[in-house]
Amino acid sequence: MNYWLLKSEPNTYSIDDLANEEKKRTSWDGVRNYQARNHMRDMKNGDLCFFYHSSCPEPGIAGVVKIVRQAYPDHTAFDPDDHHYDPKSNPDDPRWFMVDVRIVRKFARIITLRELRKHAAKALSGMVLLRRGNRLSVTPVTKKQWDHIMSLV
């Protein structure tokens, strides 16, 4: 099993939105960065991901989701009416992919970025999220990092 971190702006789609979905499941679409896309293609069913709220007053980890469908072509790239449309994307040779996730757990509190940074020197050393200038919406998390963050819950 692998571990990941998925970022979403809560005013666009939050963990509460996912928790309120009838099936508690959604597609993780609209990723338009090649490195993040490659991470998504590496995801396997059963992998666990932190659900991270970004670009908000208090960014941080809001809960855990599970990969329930491995990477498949992101249909939003082919739809000219969708804001994720990519005119260079082709259904016969897809450039962009998405995965499906299901909520596992919403945390009682957000594990804030500020709190995570306090652990950056030791337990969370090397965590991609904490690297200066990182803007990727999909990043890997090591088992050691995962376990430490889960101990903060």
H or E element at residue 11? none
Q: What is the CA radius of gyration of the chain?
A: 15
Choose among 70, 67, 151, 69: nearest CA to 104: 67
Return the residue matching tokens 């259904």: 91
Q: 55 is written with which tokens?
A: 């670009």
pLDDT on residue 106: 97
Q: 74 is written with which tokens?
A: 């992101």
Contact between residue 71 and residue 97 where contact means Cβ atoms under 8 Å apart: yes
pLDDT on residue 87: 92
Instruction: Give the tens place of pLDDT for each residue, 57-66.
Output: 999 999 999 9
State the pTM of this model. 0.94
Instruction: Give the tens place of pLDDT for each residue, 120-149.
Output: 888 999 999 999 888 899 999 999 999 999
Choose among 125, 124, 129: nearest CA to 140: 129
pLDDT more than 70, % of the chain: 100
Instruction: Give the tens place of pLDDT for each residue, 80-131.
Output: 999 999 999 999 999 999 999 999 999 999 999 999 999 888 899 999 999 9
- Domains of the chain, first to last: 3-152 (3.10.590.10)
- Residue 27: CA count within 13 A, CB half-sphere: 11
